[in-house]
């Protein structure tokens, strides 16, 4: 009986070690995605909001593919929140691949007023420093977070008049 218990114990230890090694493979460090905002396009807004489509080039410098089924973005200008957007679009970025993703964002009049109050008189956001934070949702262990920084280069048709 004691000999049989030892065998079961050894078998269990071997199985636990094998499972542990496989679990380590799931948590390999991943290089961050390279995100570049490549443009803003005006969209139709409603009443006290302005809408834009943010175009991003997403490059995956990893050996693992990225499958996503949702995107969330937050845009800060001059350190203040300005816009946010979500999309339930799905996609795939291959290993060492890239994709252009377009996500609509909303800028409320109140967010814009907060920007104007912080800067005095404000009639354009052109050339202002921004930080874009977001995530590509991919399930329990597949969600990838990213950040991009730069200066706003808004399209000529994007008016800030409500």
The full DSSP string for 33-48 is PEEEEEEEEEE---TT
- For all residues of the chain together, what is the average pLDDT? 80
If you average pLDDT over residues 115-141, what whole number do you get? 74
If you average pLDDT over residues 30-56, what whole number do you get? 87
Specify the DSSP element, H or E, that contains 155.
none
Residue bearing the bigger pLDDT, 149 or 160? 149
Q: How many CB atoms lie within 10 A of CB 77?
A: 24
Work out the pLDDT band at 84, boundaries 50, 70, 90: very high
Range with the largest mean pLDDT of 9-23, 49-63, 106-120, 134-148: 49-63
CA dihedral 80, 31, 37, 122 (to 10 degrees): 10
Phi-psi region at 126: left, alpha or beta (left = phi > 0; alpha = psi -120 to 50): beta
Contact status, residue 33 vs residue 56, Cβ threshold 8 Å? no
pLDDT confidence of residue 1? 65
Residue bearing the bigger pLDDT, 49 or 8? 49
Which CATH code of 3.40.50.1100, 2.60.40.10, 3.90.1150.10, 3.90.330.10 fits the domain covering 29-151? 2.60.40.10
If you average pLDDT over residues 18-37, what whole number do you get? 70
Domain boundaries, the chain: 29-151
pLDDT confidence of residue 99? 95
Q: What are the φ/ψ torsions at residue 63 (nearest 5 degrees)?
A: -80, -15
DSSP structural state of residue 6: H
CA dihedral 147, 153, 158, 162 (to 10 degrees): 70
Q: Is the pTM of this model over 0.75?
A: no
pLDDT confidence of residue 98? 95
């Amino acid at each position: 009986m004691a000999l049989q218990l030892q065998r079961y114990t050894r078998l269990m230890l071997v199985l636990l070690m094998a499972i542990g090694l496989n679990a380590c493979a799931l948590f390999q460090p991943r290089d961050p995605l390279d995100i570049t905002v490549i443009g803003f396009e005006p969209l139709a807004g409603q009443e006290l909001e302005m809408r834009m489509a943010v175009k991003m080039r997403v490059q995956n410098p990893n050996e693992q593919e990225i499958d996503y089924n949702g995107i969330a973005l937050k845009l800060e200008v001059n350190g203040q929140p300005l816009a946010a957007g979500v999309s339930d679009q799905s996609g795939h970025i291959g290993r060492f691949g890239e994709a252009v993703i377009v996500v609509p964002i909303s800028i409320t009049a109140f967010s814009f007023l907060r920007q104007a109050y912080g800067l005095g008189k404000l009639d354009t956001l052109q050339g202002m420093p921004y930080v874009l934070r977001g995530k590509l949702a991919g399930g329990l262990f597949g969600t990838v977070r990213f950040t991009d920084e730069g200066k706003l280069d808004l399209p000529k048709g994007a008016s800030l008049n409500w």
